[in-house]
Amino acid sequence: AGQLVFLFVVALSCVRTNPDARPTMRTVAQELSAQRRSTLDRPFAAISIGDLTILQV
C-alpha cells in the first residue's frame, strides 16, 4: 500500500496546474529510483485524495 501511495503522490505532483510547481523528470526519476515512502500514518483504506495532495515530492 505504501508504494501505491508514493506513486500516486508522484503522479499528482506531475499534473499540478502551475507548470513551475511540477517536478522535473530528473527529480521524478530520482524519487522513483530511491523509492521513498510516504509519511502517512493511517491505514491505506483511510487515506483520501486530499491527504495525498498535501504531500510533496
pLDDT attached to residue 57: 57
**Residue 35: its pLDDT value, please?**
66
Which DSSP string corresponds to 1-57?
A: -HHHHHHHHHHHHHT-SSGGGSPPHHHHHHHHHHTPPP---S-GGG--HHHHHT---
pTM exceeds 0.95, yes or no: no
> How far is the CA of 10 from the CAs of 18, 28, 29, 50, in angstroms?
15, 7, 10, 14
Reading the block at residue 1, the C-alpha cell is: 500500500
Q: Residue 18's pLDDT is what?
A: 95
Give Cα 1 distance to the centre of its chain: 13
Averages of pLDDT over runs of 10 residues in the chain (57 residues) are 79 92 92 68 74 66
